[in-house]
Amino acid sequence: MFDSIPIIDVGPLVRKKGDEDFREDPEVRNVVHQLDLACRNVGFFYVSGHGIPLELCQAVLDVGHEFFSQPESQKLRIAMSSSTGFRGYQKLGENVTKGLPDQHEAIDYFKEFESTKVALRSENPLVGLNQWPDSVSKFRPLVQEYLEMLIELARTIMRGIALALGGPKDLFEGERAGDPFWILRVIGYPPISNLSCLSNPNGEEVGCGDHTDYGLLTLVNQDLDITALQVKTQDGKYIWVDPIPGTFVVNIGDMLTIWTNGLYQSTLHRVMNNDSKYRVSVPFFYEPNFDARVEPFSFLQDSTAAESKRYTPVVYGDHVINKVLNNFG
Protein backbone atom coordinates (compact mmCIF):
# COMPACT_ATOMS: atom_id res chain seq x y z
CA MET A 1 0.00 0.00 0.00
CA PHE A 2 1.33 3.46 -0.84
CA ASP A 3 0.02 6.96 -1.22
CA SER A 4 3.06 8.85 -2.40
CA ILE A 5 6.09 8.39 -4.64
CA PRO A 6 9.46 8.42 -2.83
CA ILE A 7 12.37 10.61 -3.95
CA ILE A 8 15.73 8.83 -4.06
CA ASP A 9 19.03 10.70 -4.35
CA VAL A 10 21.17 8.32 -6.39
CA GLY A 11 24.25 10.58 -6.15
CA PRO A 12 26.30 7.98 -4.23
CA LEU A 13 25.59 5.28 -6.85
CA VAL A 14 26.68 7.61 -9.64
CA ARG A 15 29.79 8.94 -7.88
CA LYS A 16 31.01 5.62 -6.49
CA LYS A 17 30.14 3.20 -9.28
CA GLY A 18 33.83 2.51 -10.01
CA ASP A 19 34.83 2.07 -6.37
CA GLU A 20 36.33 -1.18 -5.19
CA ASP A 21 34.20 -1.21 -2.00
CA PHE A 22 30.98 -0.10 -3.77
CA ARG A 23 28.91 -2.85 -2.15
CA GLU A 24 29.94 -2.02 1.41
CA ASP A 25 29.92 1.76 1.17
CA PRO A 26 27.43 3.12 3.76
CA GLU A 27 26.05 5.79 1.41
CA VAL A 28 25.59 3.21 -1.34
CA ARG A 29 23.89 0.81 1.13
CA ASN A 30 21.49 3.55 2.08
CA VAL A 31 20.48 4.21 -1.54
CA VAL A 32 20.18 0.46 -2.17
CA HIS A 33 17.82 0.12 0.79
CA GLN A 34 15.63 2.96 -0.51
CA LEU A 35 15.55 1.35 -3.97
CA ASP A 36 14.48 -1.95 -2.44
CA LEU A 37 11.58 -0.36 -0.52
CA ALA A 38 10.43 1.66 -3.53
CA CYS A 39 10.57 -1.35 -5.86
CA ARG A 40 8.75 -3.64 -3.40
CA ASN A 41 6.04 -1.21 -2.36
CA VAL A 42 5.45 1.24 -5.20
CA GLY A 43 7.24 0.35 -8.43
CA PHE A 44 7.70 4.10 -8.98
CA PHE A 45 10.21 6.59 -7.57
CA TYR A 46 11.77 9.94 -8.41
CA VAL A 47 15.50 10.00 -8.95
CA SER A 48 17.57 13.07 -8.02
CA GLY A 49 21.33 13.54 -7.85
CA HIS A 50 21.70 11.75 -11.22
CA GLY A 51 24.11 14.26 -12.76
CA ILE A 52 22.22 14.85 -16.02
CA PRO A 53 22.04 18.60 -16.66
CA LEU A 54 18.59 20.13 -16.27
CA GLU A 55 19.31 22.25 -19.37
CA LEU A 56 19.77 19.11 -21.50
CA CYS A 57 16.50 17.62 -20.21
CA GLN A 58 14.74 20.91 -20.94
CA ALA A 59 16.31 21.21 -24.40
CA VAL A 60 15.03 17.73 -25.31
CA LEU A 61 11.49 18.70 -24.25
CA ASP A 62 11.83 21.97 -26.21
CA VAL A 63 12.71 20.25 -29.50
CA GLY A 64 9.76 17.94 -28.89
CA HIS A 65 7.42 20.93 -28.60
CA GLU A 66 8.99 22.43 -31.73
CA PHE A 67 8.48 19.22 -33.71
CA PHE A 68 4.84 18.70 -32.70
CA SER A 69 3.90 22.33 -33.41
CA GLN A 70 4.64 21.80 -37.12
CA PRO A 71 1.97 21.11 -39.75
CA GLU A 72 1.00 17.47 -40.10
CA SER A 73 2.53 17.18 -43.59
CA GLN A 74 5.94 18.03 -42.13
CA LYS A 75 5.57 15.51 -39.30
CA LEU A 76 4.47 12.77 -41.67
CA ARG A 77 7.78 13.00 -43.51
CA ILE A 78 9.14 10.75 -40.75
CA ALA A 79 6.02 8.61 -40.47
CA MET A 80 6.23 5.28 -38.70
CA SER A 81 5.16 2.17 -40.59
CA SER A 82 5.94 -1.51 -40.74
CA SER A 83 8.57 -0.72 -43.38
CA THR A 84 10.48 1.57 -40.97
CA GLY A 85 10.48 -1.14 -38.31
CA PHE A 86 7.76 0.78 -36.41
CA ARG A 87 10.21 3.65 -35.88
CA GLY A 88 9.09 7.23 -36.47
CA TYR A 89 6.08 9.52 -36.13
CA GLN A 90 2.60 8.32 -35.23
CA LYS A 91 -0.45 10.57 -35.37
CA LEU A 92 -2.90 11.25 -32.57
CA GLY A 93 -4.96 8.13 -31.91
CA GLU A 94 -2.69 5.78 -33.86
CA ASN A 95 -1.31 4.12 -30.73
CA VAL A 96 -3.89 1.87 -29.09
CA THR A 97 -4.00 0.72 -25.46
CA LYS A 98 -6.39 -2.07 -24.47
CA GLY A 99 -8.42 -1.50 -27.61
CA LEU A 100 -8.87 2.28 -27.22
CA PRO A 101 -6.93 4.94 -29.17
CA ASP A 102 -4.56 7.03 -27.07
CA GLN A 103 -4.83 10.82 -27.31
CA HIS A 104 -1.16 11.37 -27.97
CA GLU A 105 1.17 11.76 -30.94
CA ALA A 106 4.73 10.51 -30.69
CA ILE A 107 8.01 9.65 -32.33
CA ASP A 108 9.34 6.21 -31.41
CA TYR A 109 13.04 5.33 -31.45
CA PHE A 110 14.46 1.85 -30.90
CA LYS A 111 18.04 0.77 -30.64
CA GLU A 112 19.18 -0.13 -34.15
CA PHE A 113 20.24 -3.72 -34.76
CA GLU A 114 23.70 -4.43 -36.08
CA SER A 115 23.45 -4.96 -39.81
CA THR A 116 25.69 -8.00 -39.55
CA LYS A 117 23.00 -9.89 -37.69
CA VAL A 118 21.29 -10.60 -40.98
CA ALA A 119 19.25 -13.41 -39.54
CA LEU A 120 17.27 -10.89 -37.51
CA ARG A 121 16.00 -9.13 -40.62
CA SER A 122 13.55 -11.64 -41.95
CA GLU A 123 11.79 -12.44 -38.72
CA ASN A 124 12.09 -9.27 -36.62
CA PRO A 125 9.52 -6.56 -37.46
CA LEU A 126 11.46 -3.97 -35.41
CA VAL A 127 14.46 -4.00 -37.75
CA GLY A 128 14.75 -0.59 -39.41
CA LEU A 129 16.40 2.80 -39.20
CA ASN A 130 15.41 5.54 -36.77
CA GLN A 131 13.61 8.51 -38.31
CA TRP A 132 15.09 11.95 -37.52
CA PRO A 133 13.31 15.20 -38.36
CA ASP A 134 15.62 17.52 -40.31
CA SER A 135 13.04 20.29 -39.93
CA VAL A 136 14.19 20.74 -36.30
CA SER A 137 17.94 20.97 -36.76
CA LYS A 138 19.06 20.44 -33.15
CA PHE A 139 16.76 17.47 -32.65
CA ARG A 140 19.09 14.64 -33.63
CA PRO A 141 22.32 15.75 -31.87
CA LEU A 142 20.44 16.63 -28.68
CA VAL A 143 18.47 13.41 -28.51
CA GLN A 144 21.56 11.31 -29.27
CA GLU A 145 23.58 13.03 -26.54
CA TYR A 146 20.66 12.55 -24.16
CA LEU A 147 20.31 8.86 -25.05
CA GLU A 148 23.94 8.10 -24.27
CA MET A 149 23.66 9.69 -20.85
CA LEU A 150 20.41 7.90 -20.03
CA ILE A 151 21.74 4.49 -21.01
CA GLU A 152 24.60 5.02 -18.57
CA LEU A 153 22.34 6.32 -15.79
CA ALA A 154 19.88 3.45 -16.15
CA ARG A 155 22.73 0.95 -16.06
CA THR A 156 23.94 2.55 -12.81
CA ILE A 157 20.49 2.38 -11.20
CA MET A 158 20.18 -1.27 -12.27
CA ARG A 159 23.44 -1.93 -10.46
CA GLY A 160 21.79 -0.55 -7.29
CA ILE A 161 18.73 -2.71 -7.90
CA ALA A 162 20.98 -5.76 -8.33
CA LEU A 163 22.36 -5.16 -4.82
CA ALA A 164 18.86 -4.45 -3.48
CA LEU A 165 17.90 -7.96 -4.58
CA GLY A 166 20.92 -9.37 -2.79
CA GLY A 167 22.60 -10.32 -6.05
CA PRO A 168 26.02 -9.44 -7.46
CA LYS A 169 26.35 -5.90 -8.86
CA ASP A 170 26.65 -7.28 -12.40
CA LEU A 171 23.38 -9.23 -12.12
CA PHE A 172 21.99 -7.22 -15.05
CA GLU A 173 25.13 -7.37 -17.21
CA GLY A 174 26.26 -10.04 -19.66
CA GLU A 175 23.55 -12.16 -21.25
CA ARG A 176 20.79 -10.48 -19.24
CA ALA A 177 21.29 -6.79 -20.02
CA GLY A 178 24.94 -6.25 -20.88
CA ASP A 179 23.93 -5.24 -24.41
CA PRO A 180 20.66 -3.53 -23.46
CA PHE A 181 17.92 -2.84 -25.94
CA TRP A 182 16.35 0.59 -25.47
CA ILE A 183 13.31 2.56 -26.58
CA LEU A 184 12.86 6.32 -26.52
CA ARG A 185 9.53 7.99 -27.11
CA VAL A 186 9.05 11.72 -27.68
CA ILE A 187 5.37 12.16 -26.86
CA GLY A 188 2.94 15.07 -27.30
CA TYR A 189 -0.37 15.27 -25.44
CA PRO A 190 -2.84 17.93 -26.58
CA PRO A 191 -5.19 19.21 -23.88
CA ILE A 192 -8.11 16.76 -23.67
CA SER A 193 -10.51 19.72 -23.79
CA ASN A 194 -9.18 20.66 -27.27
CA LEU A 195 -9.95 17.35 -28.90
CA SER A 196 -12.41 17.94 -31.69
CA CYS A 197 -13.63 14.40 -32.02
CA LEU A 198 -13.90 12.13 -29.04
CA SER A 199 -12.87 8.59 -29.75
CA ASN A 200 -13.84 6.79 -26.61
CA PRO A 201 -17.57 6.04 -26.70
CA ASN A 202 -18.05 4.98 -23.11
CA GLY A 203 -15.94 7.12 -20.86
CA GLU A 204 -13.18 9.57 -20.43
CA GLU A 205 -10.53 10.36 -23.01
CA VAL A 206 -7.01 9.44 -21.97
CA GLY A 207 -3.64 10.63 -23.27
CA CYS A 208 -2.35 7.11 -22.71
CA GLY A 209 -4.43 4.29 -21.24
CA ASP A 210 -3.56 2.11 -18.29
CA HIS A 211 -0.48 -0.02 -18.95
CA THR A 212 2.74 -1.35 -17.51
CA ASP A 213 6.08 -0.81 -19.24
CA TYR A 214 7.76 -3.70 -20.99
CA GLY A 215 11.36 -3.98 -19.92
CA LEU A 216 13.54 -3.18 -16.92
CA LEU A 217 13.46 0.50 -16.03
CA THR A 218 11.72 3.60 -17.44
CA LEU A 219 13.06 7.13 -16.88
CA VAL A 220 10.53 9.85 -17.65
CA ASN A 221 11.50 13.44 -18.47
CA GLN A 222 8.34 15.55 -18.46
CA ASP A 223 7.22 19.17 -18.84
CA LEU A 224 7.56 20.79 -15.42
CA ASP A 225 4.43 22.94 -15.54
CA ILE A 226 1.79 20.23 -16.06
CA THR A 227 0.75 17.26 -13.92
CA ALA A 228 -0.66 14.49 -16.12
CA LEU A 229 0.89 11.14 -15.19
CA GLN A 230 -1.08 8.94 -12.81
CA VAL A 231 -0.04 5.80 -10.96
CA LYS A 232 -2.55 3.17 -9.89
CA THR A 233 -2.36 2.01 -6.28
CA GLN A 234 -3.25 -1.52 -5.16
CA ASP A 235 -6.72 -0.36 -4.07
CA GLY A 236 -7.44 0.88 -7.58
CA LYS A 237 -7.12 4.61 -6.89
CA TYR A 238 -4.92 6.85 -9.03
CA ILE A 239 -2.35 9.23 -7.62
CA TRP A 240 -0.92 12.13 -9.62
CA VAL A 241 2.82 12.24 -10.23
CA ASP A 242 3.72 15.94 -9.99
CA PRO A 243 6.83 16.92 -11.93
CA ILE A 244 9.81 17.79 -9.68
CA PRO A 245 12.56 19.89 -11.31
CA GLY A 246 15.88 18.05 -11.60
CA THR A 247 14.37 14.59 -11.22
CA PHE A 248 13.30 11.73 -13.45
CA VAL A 249 10.23 9.68 -12.69
CA VAL A 250 11.45 6.09 -12.70
CA ASN A 251 9.36 2.94 -12.85
CA ILE A 252 10.05 -0.74 -13.22
CA GLY A 253 8.98 -2.86 -16.17
CA ASP A 254 7.57 -6.32 -16.81
CA MET A 255 10.93 -8.08 -17.20
CA LEU A 256 11.94 -7.10 -13.67
CA THR A 257 8.70 -8.62 -12.41
CA ILE A 258 9.57 -11.93 -14.04
CA TRP A 259 13.23 -11.92 -13.00
CA THR A 260 12.23 -11.17 -9.37
CA ASN A 261 9.39 -13.71 -9.41
CA GLY A 262 6.94 -10.93 -8.58
CA LEU A 263 8.89 -9.33 -5.75
CA TYR A 264 9.22 -6.09 -7.76
CA GLN A 265 5.99 -5.59 -9.69
CA SER A 266 5.62 -3.26 -12.66
CA THR A 267 2.91 -0.76 -11.72
CA LEU A 268 -0.07 0.32 -13.85
CA HIS A 269 -0.04 3.96 -14.91
CA ARG A 270 -1.78 6.25 -17.40
CA VAL A 271 -1.67 9.81 -18.68
CA MET A 272 -4.45 12.43 -18.61
CA ASN A 273 -3.64 15.93 -19.79
CA ASN A 274 -6.48 17.92 -18.23
CA ASP A 275 -4.40 21.09 -18.48
CA SER A 276 -5.07 23.79 -21.07
CA LYS A 277 -1.48 23.58 -22.34
CA TYR A 278 0.11 21.08 -24.73
CA ARG A 279 2.29 18.59 -22.79
CA VAL A 280 5.50 16.88 -23.91
CA SER A 281 7.15 13.96 -22.15
CA VAL A 282 10.16 11.86 -23.15
CA PRO A 283 10.23 8.42 -21.54
CA PHE A 284 13.40 6.40 -21.99
CA PHE A 285 13.03 2.64 -21.62
CA TYR A 286 16.08 0.62 -20.57
CA GLU A 287 15.52 -2.99 -21.53
CA PRO A 288 17.22 -6.40 -21.36
CA ASN A 289 19.31 -7.74 -24.26
CA PHE A 290 16.93 -8.33 -27.15
CA ASP A 291 17.55 -12.06 -27.06
CA ALA A 292 17.65 -12.37 -23.26
CA ARG A 293 15.74 -15.28 -21.81
CA VAL A 294 13.97 -13.92 -18.75
CA GLU A 295 12.97 -16.26 -15.94
CA PRO A 296 12.76 -15.97 -12.14
CA PHE A 297 16.21 -15.82 -10.47
CA SER A 298 16.86 -19.11 -8.76
CA PHE A 299 18.35 -17.29 -5.75
CA LEU A 300 15.02 -15.52 -5.18
CA GLN A 301 12.63 -18.38 -5.70
CA ASP A 302 12.71 -19.58 -2.12
CA SER A 303 11.98 -16.21 -0.57
CA THR A 304 9.30 -15.26 -3.09
CA ALA A 305 8.12 -18.80 -3.18
CA ALA A 306 4.43 -19.64 -3.45
CA GLU A 307 4.51 -21.92 -6.47
CA SER A 308 1.37 -20.23 -7.85
CA LYS A 309 3.30 -17.00 -8.21
CA ARG A 310 5.92 -18.50 -10.49
CA TYR A 311 6.23 -16.37 -13.61
CA THR A 312 6.51 -17.95 -17.03
CA PRO A 313 9.86 -17.38 -18.76
CA VAL A 314 9.86 -15.21 -21.90
CA VAL A 315 12.39 -14.00 -24.41
CA TYR A 316 12.39 -10.20 -24.04
CA GLY A 317 12.41 -9.56 -27.82
CA ASP A 318 9.28 -11.69 -28.27
CA HIS A 319 7.53 -9.72 -25.52
CA VAL A 320 8.33 -6.30 -27.03
CA ILE A 321 7.50 -7.38 -30.60
CA ASN A 322 4.12 -8.58 -29.37
CA LYS A 323 3.48 -5.30 -27.58
CA VAL A 324 4.46 -3.13 -30.54
CA LEU A 325 2.37 -5.14 -33.00
CA ASN A 326 -0.60 -4.80 -30.63
CA ASN A 327 -0.08 -1.04 -30.24
CA PHE A 328 -0.43 -0.48 -33.96
CA GLY A 329 -2.88 -3.23 -34.87
Ligand X SMILES: N=C(N)NCCCC[C@H](N)C(=O)O
Q: Which residues bind ligand X (CB under 6 A)?
A: 95-97, 102, 183, 208, 211, 213-214, 285, 323, 327
Contact 90, 106 (CB under 8 A): yes
Contact 176, 289 (CB under 8 A): yes
| CB nearer Fe ion, residue 205 or residue 213 | 213
- 220 lies in the binding site for ligand AKG (CB under 6 A): yes
- 231 lies in the binding site for ligand AKG (CB under 6 A): no
Residue 97, strand partner residues: 100
Q: For residue 147, how many other CB atoms are within 10 A of its CB?
A: 16
User: How distant, in Å, are the alpha carbons of 104, 107, 129, 253 from that of 76?
Assistant: 15, 10, 16, 30
Q: Taking Cα atoms as reference points, which of 110, 127, 130 lies closest to residue 118? A: 127
Out of Fe ion, ligand X, ligand AKG, none, what residue 97 binds, judged by CB under 5 to 8 A for its kind, is ligand X
Q: Taking Cα atoms as reference points, which of 256, 319, 287, 296 lies closest to residue 39? A: 256
Minimum Å gap between C-beta 322 and ligand X is: 10
**DSSP annotation string for 14-40:** HHHTT-TTGGG-HHHHHHHHHHHHHHH
| CB nearer ligand AKG, residue 58 or residue 303 | 58
| CB nearer ligand X, residue 126 or residue 163 | 126
CA distance 8 to 157: 11
Out of Fe ion, ligand X, ligand AKG, none, what residue 95 binds, judged by CB under 5 to 8 A for its kind, is ligand X
In Å, how far from its chain's centre is CA 234?
A: 21
- 213 lies in the binding site for Fe ion (CB under 5 A): yes
Minimum Å gap between C-beta 218 and ligand X is: 7
- Which of 12, 188, 283, 296 is in the footprint of ligand AKG by CB under 6 A? 283
Q: Taking Cα atoms as reference points, which of 159, 160, 135, 132 lies closest to residue 147? A: 132
Minimum Å gap between C-beta 46 and ligand AKG is: 13
Residue 46, strand partner residues: 7, 249
Out of ligand X, Fe ion, ligand AKG, none, what residue 220 binds, judged by CB under 5 to 8 A for its kind, is ligand AKG
Closest residue (Cβ) to ligand AKG?
281
What phi and psi values does residue 315 have, to the nearest 5 degrees? -90, 125
Out of ligand X, Fe ion, ligand AKG, none, what residue 177 binds, judged by CB under 5 to 8 A for its kind, is none
| CB nearer ligand X, residue 213 or residue 223 | 213
Q: Taking Cα atoms as reference points, which of 271, 313, 317 lies closest to residue 294? A: 313
- 222 lies in the binding site for ligand AKG (CB under 6 A): yes
Q: Which of residues 164-203 bind ligand AKG (CB under 6 A)?
A: 185, 187
Minimum Å gap between C-beta 327 and ligand X is: 4
CA distance 219 to 188: 17
Which residues lie closer than 8 Å to 236 by C-beta, 6 or more apart? none
Using the contact rule CB under 5 A, the part of the chain among 10-18, 95-103, 105-113, 211-219 near Fe ion is 211-219
- 230 lies in the binding site for ligand AKG (CB under 6 A): no
Minimum Å gap between C-beta 285 and Fe ion is: 8
- 87 lies in the binding site for ligand AKG (CB under 6 A): no
Contact set with ligand AKG (CB under 6 A): 185, 187, 208, 213, 220, 222, 229, 269, 271, 281, 283
Contact set with Fe ion (CB under 5 A): 213
